[in-house]
Amino acid sequence: MMNYGNIHTKIDSSKYDAIISIGNKCPTAMILRELEIYRESFPFDYVPTTPKLILKYLKDPFLFFPGKGDVVTADGVWFGHYNTFEDYDKTVDLFKRRFDRLFSLLSNKKQILFVYTAEADIYNELGNRYSNNYQDLKDLCEYIQTAYNYTDFSLLAIHTNKHFESNDTIINYTITVADHFLSENKETNVPSVFVPYRDVLKSLLKKIFLDHL
């Protein structure tokens, strides 16, 4: 069984200059696109990440890129949706443009909504289930505020089986996932797991965003 609680905070996506996925897997960007509220592409759309790694890559984007022909980086980040061998230079240029787009928004202090969802916790991919990802999200927000002297952003975080109080910057929700769906990073492509999770996630996101009620 998978479900979520009451919708305590609704979001009007039209008030933001950009909505940016920060993982931790592909469905964040995929579902936002399906809801027609995701207008541009950004670095962390279709690669599994963690909030701690995203902070690392914001500080030094060159640590993000895979080596030529590598599907998985030293950090465990998977680039399976991209051709890192025959189209390596093209892939690197693609991600450089996405980083430039993100940094431009931050430098120009545009209104941004970051969106984080935690499907990877189900599989314990990259150790997500047992990591203090909420503290890492707070560290990420603090870095952005300090590095860019910028506070005009929010972060929507949808956790798996973890509950946190919202604050002035981070809006927290939780999807409850029954134990029998959970695994230990042995298999992350099981339709009987990711299909119901993504259905629930899409339902929750539709209810959160005002323009899709």
Question: pTM of the entire structure?
Answer: 0.96
Alpha-carbon torsion, ordered 130, 168, 154, 77, to 10 deg: -10
For the sheet containing 2-4, what is the strand order? 2-4, 170-177, 153-160, 112-117, 18-21
Span 116-152, pLDDT tens digits: 999 999 999 999 999 999 999 999 999 999 999 999 8
Q: Give the pLDDT confidence of 40-95 residue by residue, as tens digits.
A: 999 999 999 999 999 999 999 999 999 999 999 999 999 999 999 999 999 999 99
By residue range, what is the domain housing residue 40?
A: 2-212
Domain count for the chain: 1
Give the pLDDT confidence score for residue 189 in this predicted structure.
74
Residues forming beta bridges with residue 112, ordered by sequence position: 18, 153
Average pLDDT of the chain, as a whole number: 95
Decide if pLDDT at 197 tops 70: yes
